[in-house]
């Protein structure tokens, strides 16, 4: 296996692995380590994966998280097929992590390009460790103790012209949840920014004006190119990203058929920074302010 970084902050190409074949434990362990290091892995030129092959690869890394809804093209409960020609405004063309309206959002997703337009349809990925680290010490210290409300309802409203009642019908099943604005990754222990434009509706304990202003600042911050990698798909390519530390954006610049098959891996509840660590962060920020004076 050969793993090559794509950018300084995020992404790696993986060569020498055939995802249609069973993998031994050593290869799986190496891929997990690479995912934690590079956050998104690209497997170029794979043959079209069957549902069984796709699901088998996903299960090496955890239980399969069935999609909230199945499209007409989805062949099995474990996968979703995104078959689109005019994707503008359908939900993926904004920076987001998947399904943070859930108490335990997905660990990751594995997406394969099976039919592509002649041009366009790239996907961008952004490193939320880097986004957090690039904030000023004072802003980090403030965010470390905050929680945000994540809800399915705003996306159901935003996409009702496309989804009709299918998403709206799920809102009662998934009431709003609170997640820390700054999360701690369960495997690496690193802090990361944990708000996104699709599911985060407000900062808990703030007025609407304060919350909107802070979220707008953070969403604009995530757009910085230095946190990102952009994948120009070829048919058969597979992207595997860590949904806990990555946001992604599907570029809606095409008007020809684009069909992608995706398997999602179940995750765990999001943890915030322990109180003792938060206190240390605030003290450090206070010292930096005093020194700056």
Cα separation, 95 vs 160, in Å, equals 19
Q: What is the pLDDT of residue 278?
A: 76
| CB atoms closer than 10 angstroms to residue 19 | 20
Per-10-residue mean pLDDT, the chain, length 293: 97 98 98 98 97 98 90 82 84 90 98 97 98 98 97 82 64 93 98 97 98 98 97 98 98 95 97 84 57 52
- The pTM (predicted TM-score) of the whole model is 0.92
The torsion region of residue 189 among left (phi > 0), alpha (psi -120 to 50) and beta comes to left
Q: Cα 209–221–10 angle (5° rounding)?
A: 145
Q: List the catalytic residues.
A: 96, 98, 248, 262
CATH class of 2-292: alpha beta
* Chain centre distance of CA 269: 15
DSSP state of 151: -
* Token code pair at residue 77: 């409960």
Q: Are 46 and 237 contacting, i.e. CB atoms less than 8 angstroms apart?
A: yes
């Amino acid at each position: 296996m050969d793993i090559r970084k794509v950018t300084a902050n995020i992404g790696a190409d993986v060569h020498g692995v055939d995802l249609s074949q069973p993998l031994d434990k050593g290869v799986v362990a190496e891929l997990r380590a690479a995912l934690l290091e590079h956050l998104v892995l690209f497997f170029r030129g794979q043959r079209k994966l069957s549902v069984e092959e796709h699901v088998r690869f996903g299960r090496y890394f955890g239980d399969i998280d069935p999609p909230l809804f199945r499209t007409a093209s989805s062949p099995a409960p474990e996968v979703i097929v995104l078959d689109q020609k005019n994707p503008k405004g359908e939900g993926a063309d904004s920076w987001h992590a998947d399904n943070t309206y859930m108490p335990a959002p997905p660990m990751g997703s594995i997406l394969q390009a099976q039919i592509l337009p002649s041009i366009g349809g790239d996907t961008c990925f952004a490193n939320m460790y880097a986004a957090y680290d690039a904030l000023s010490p004072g802003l980090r210290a403030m965010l470390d103790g905050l929680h945000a409300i994540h809800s399915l309802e705003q996306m159901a409203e935003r996409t009702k012209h496309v989804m009709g009642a299918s998403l709206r019908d799920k809102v009662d099943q998934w009431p709003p949840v609170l997640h820390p604005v700054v999360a701690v990754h369960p495997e690496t222990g690193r802090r990361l920014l944990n708000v996104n434009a699709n599911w985060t509706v407000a900062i808990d304990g703030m007025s609407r004006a304060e919350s909107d202003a802070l979220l707008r600042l953070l969403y604009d911050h995530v757009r910085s190119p230095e946190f990102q990698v952009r994948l120009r798909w070829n048919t058969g390519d597979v992207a595997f990203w860590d949904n806990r530390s990555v946001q992604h954006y599907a570029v809606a610049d095409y008007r020809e058929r684009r069909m992608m098959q995706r398997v999602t891996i179940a995750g765990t509840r999001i943890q915030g920074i322990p109180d003792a660590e938060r206190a240390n962060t605030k003290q450090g920020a206070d010292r930096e302010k005093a020194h700056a004076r």
